[in-house]
Amino acid sequence: MELEKKYSCLTKNRLVINRSVNVDKNYQETLEAYLEDLHRVIRCECHSYVTSCDIVDSTAVVEGKSEICLTYTNADGELLYTEFIEDFTEKTALDSLSEFAFVVGDISDKYTNFRVINQRRIDIHTSFCLNLKVYDKISCPCVNECDGSRLNSYSVKEQNVQNYILRKLEIDEEFPIPDNSNGIKRVFCYDINPCVTDSKAIKDKIFIKVKVDTKVLYTDNDNKTCCAKYTFDVSKICDISGIDENSKCFIKINEGSLFVKAKSCADDTGGRIELYGDIYACITVVNEIDSTIVTDGYIVGYQVENNYSSYVCSKKCDDLTVKKNERLTLKINSEIKSVLDLSLKINECVCKNKKIIIQISFRLMYTNAEGKTEFFEEIKELEHSVENADMLCAVAEIKSYDYNIVSDYSVDVNLNYEIISAMAVQEEIRVLSDILCDDNVVKAPALTLYFAKTGERLWDIAKSFSSDIDLIKKENELTDDKLESNKIIVIPGL
């Protein structure tokens, strides 16, 4: 029997590769000629970040930079600072992909070691984890119309990761030091904490506004350690093809390469600080898809042969927004006399085994009992359970924190942070991809009694007897599609 049929295609982007690659880099750095000799290293820290990621010939090509921040003392014990910037390219072979595939590349810093070669040179080893997520377009054929057939279908709203984009936001700020400071001699450390405060998507564009909290440590003309704090906003309109006002954009801000300079006034009674460089907005675009899925079909009175395909449906559920407070303790190796600065950075936010895991780096600069400046770093992991759903993407931001010195060797940190995540329930569904019918008629009696059990679906009963589900409902005065108790069902013949 020739059947007139129409087909649809269930199409979306699916995560096909989720891979982590450990990367180790070795750098040999030499101080610029204008810098004073290195006597003792206080802090040698490296953060790496992605500037571009793409797929070329089934290879993930990730380009990025490593910024090495070095705080040290000269022979007179004065604090100094410099930075080094190194470019890198990482290539990872991937399985065969379509032309629609795209890659999400992110970096989690692990550790940095150093060795002082002489007063002008330092060798640095840094290690980070390159996290790659590859999405590719998948298509599943599905019958959506067939003459004379009964089709079992339902509508579902799905979440779909549509795209991933990196955009650079440039920074160029200048701000004064506090009024009670006796000028500014040298900057020896800085920290920023960027948070997205506003975003709005329209047709093919998105507006992003970021608040940047800045702390700069410096010495004044009396060689006293001081701190200048400054908050500013940076915003940008980014072009992103394919988004509109209904798109949801999850934005993570990565620190790029920043440079801090001290600018003394002519009379040396005050000064200003210049901050310039860039940060990166990592934008994951999630859209909603209205899908109609046909799972089964038959033709009343005839024998049919069905073909099925497997389709992973990402059923939309409520997005997750969690605001949390944590009190954590840092155990320091040497006695603390005073804290110069505490800074926090989120290294990673991932979902594993139904838990969102956030990795935070705590960096403490302090003076010890002998009055020497020391640096301490510790990485801690925080967990949040996610029940009955899967995380498509997530962003975590540090909103605020403070600390208390609770003993000579420990500091308590009170931390407020927020998690925002797109959630979905992943379910593998059997989809009707084709229905075939010959001329063989199903011979059925005029009336059949069927002893149905609790939980049976009327669709399955009707299909097995090649009957009509609506007639079965009418004959047995039923309204629900699933039986709530054992029941004798009358099956009308056709």
| Per-position pLDDT tens, the chain of length 494 | 678 889 999 999 999 999 999 999 999 999 999 999 999 999 999 999 999 999 999 999 999 999 999 999 999 999 999 999 999 999 999 988 999 999 999 999 999 999 999 999 999 999 999 999 999 999 999 999 988 889 999 899 999 999 999 999 999 999 999 988 888 999 999 999 999 999 999 999 999 999 999 999 999 988 899 999 999 999 999 999 999 999 999 999 999 999 999 987 655 556 899 999 999 999 999 999 999 999 999 988 888 899 999 999 999 888 899 999 999 999 998 999 999 999 999 999 988 888 899 999 999 999 999 999 999 999 999 999 887 788 888 999 999 999 999 999 999 999 999 999 999 998 899 999 999 987 778 777 778 889 999 999 999 999 888 888 888 999 998 888 899 889 899 988 76
| pTM (2 d.p.) | 0.89
Tell me which residue has tokens 């303790």: 329
Query: Residue 420 and residue 199: Cα distance in Å, rounded?
Result: 14
User: Could you count the other beta carbons within 10 Å of the beta carbon of residue 96?
Assistant: 7
| Structure-block tokens of residue 452 | 């149905």
Q: State residue 353's pLDDT score.
A: 80
Element (H, E) at 43: strand 40-56
Among residues 335, 401, 344, which one has the least CA distance to residue 377?
344
- Would you give the distance in Å from CA 406 to the centre of its chain? 34
Residue 182: partners with Cβ closer than 8 Å, 6 or more residues away? 220, 221, 222, 224, 269
Query: Residue 448 and residue 451: Cα distance in Å, rounded?
Result: 10
What are the Cα distances from residue 302, in Å, to 4, 76, 79, 149, 492? 16, 96, 88, 10, 15
Integer-rounded Cα radius of gyration of the chain? 31
Q: Which residues pair with 4 in a beta bridge?
A: none
CB 461 within 8 A of CB 473: no
Q: State residue 401's pLDDT score.
A: 95
Tell me which residue has tokens 């500091």: 411
What are the Cα distances from residue 169, in Å, to 88, 194, 210, 420? 20, 11, 9, 22
CB 364 within 8 A of CB 334: no
Query: Residue 313 and residue 158: Cα distance in Å, rounded?
Result: 7
Helix ranges restricted to H, 337-490: 458-464, 469-476
Query: Residue 40 and residue 73: Cα distance in Å, rounded?
Result: 5
Residue 50: partners with Cβ closer than 8 Å, 6 or more residues away? 62, 63, 64, 105, 106, 107, 166, 254, 280, 282
| Terminal C-alpha separation, the chain | 19
Helix, strand, or coil (residue 428)? strand
Residue 119: partners with Cβ closer than 8 Å, 6 or more residues away? 37, 38, 39
Q: State residue 103's pLDDT score.
A: 96
CA dihedral (213, 275, 123, 254) positive or negative? positive
Q: Which residues pair with 476 in a beta bridge?
A: none
